[in-house]
Amino acid sequence: MRDLSQGPVARQIFMFALPMLLGNVFQQLYNIVDTIIIGHYIGTDALAAAGASFPVIFVLISLVIGITTGTTIIISQYYGARDYEAVRRAIDTAFVFLFFASLLLTTLGLLFISDIWHLIDLPAHLHPDATLYFSVFAGGLVLMFGFNATSAVLRGLGDSRTPLYFLIISTILNIGFDLLFVLVFGWGIGGVAFATVLAQGIAFALSVIYLNRTHPLIRFTFKGLVFDWDIFRKSLRIGIPTGLQHTFVSLGMLALISIVNRFGTNTIAAYTIAWRIDSFAAMPAMNFGLALTTFVGQNLGANRPERVRQGLRATLMMTTAISLAVTMVAWLFGRTLMGVFTSNTEVIDIGYSYLVIVSSFYIVFSAMFATQAVMRGAGDTLVPMFITLIALWFLRIPASHLLSLRFGAEGIWWGIPVAWLFGLIAAYIYYRTGRWKRKVAVRYGEKI
């Protein structure tokens, strides 16, 4: 566990973000391996089906992810205030909620998946593969929630190293299972999804065994779990706006894929690959933002608000340098990166246009994410939710739709930076007001 309310600001944020960044590299690595295996050994149709499935999965889990984020922020603030008994109750509450939420979401997903394919105009010949891929994922949500929630709780306590170790284990298992299920057993796209679920399930089981034996604050056991309604209500107050924000984003992804679907299988496949690469490139900004959220939570909990501005400034400097480097890689080597996933030249050309357009605005994205991270760390998640809602639904989706009518698939990609620019401007204006400081749930010396 790491106390982020003491020590050099930039170093604290960097050292806390680094294990998370490495962890996400490994997490994206097995997503990338999945995509490579699907693209080269199963086919373009399967690649498009998997790409169409992910936004649907994200829609299912987004609200729950947001509520869990609220609990993580509460945990970081209680930990900063040294109220360890409340930390234990908050952890128990999070896991009880996630267990029942996963069962509900699995049921809803399996019941309505066919209707969703029609809603987003997915080409009919992709329905069987997309349904198989989605169904396997939905069946494993309880294991995936458990694994990711464990990592989130540990990060709230200032421990970003332990999640990295178990993520490495999960990644190695996932790649091995991919090769076994697809190349040896010939299970196709269902084997790829099953590899991910099984790998995360095993890693979750191993993390439970390890933490039960070694961690002073975390005990995973069905007997003796405490569900604290007061903490849950506080988590909902913080988490529901974040969850709704995630939901708006996921529904926006669904709306975007519905626009992409109209341009055919090659465009869907290109978007699937380019989005994977884009997700990899965006990781530094997102992980430094997550580190800043925990940093802000602990420092406000410890009643050290002067370190918050220092933290934001240091984060912006680090993410700007990284964003410039990533942009140059996308410009110079984008076609080569696309070629790793597929030999289809049309898919490569379409995907490269995405990478060039979107990567040109990574600095804007990283600055937007860092500024909103300060608000979330303070517990003010409502304003970022509204900023995201406006940027996505009033700018990004309409812009992508209208520009696609004039410029084809490239018009879709231009809608993305339009939303980022608005998100950064709006977040910075609100940050300057200082109103987010009023939302802190707990300060050092207080018991809630």
Percent of the chain scored above 70 by pLDDT?
94
Whether 259 has a pLDDT exceeding 80, the answer reads yes
Q: How far apart are CA 11 and CA 141, in angstroms?
A: 36
pLDDT of residue 182: 92
Whether 445 has a pLDDT exceeding 50, the answer reads no
| Per-residue pLDDT tens over the stretch 224-258 | 678 888 888 888 887 787 777 778 778 888 888 89
Q: Tokens in use for 282?
A: 């965006």
pLDDT of residue 146: 86
CB-CB contact of 338 with 255 (8 Å): no
pLDDT of residue 447: 39
pLDDT, average across residues 14-37: 80
Backbone φ/ψ region at 186: left (φ over 0), alpha (ψ -120 to 50), beta: left
pLDDT, average across residues 148-157: 76
* Helix, coil or strand: residue 212: helix
With tokens 């409340």, the residue in question is 86
CB-CB contact of 142 with 99 (8 Å): yes
Q: How far apart are CA 158 and CA 302, in angstroms?
A: 14
HSE value, Cβ hemisphere, 13 Å, CA-based, for 383: 26
Question: How many other C-beta atoms can be found within 10 angstroms of the C-beta atom of residue 251?
Answer: 17
| Per-residue pLDDT tens over the stretch 352-380 | 999 999 999 999 999 999 999 888 888 77
Average pLDDT, the chain: 85
* Helix, coil or strand: residue 302: coil
pLDDT, average across residues 203-213: 83
Angle at 174 between CA 171 and CA 178, to 5 degrees: 140
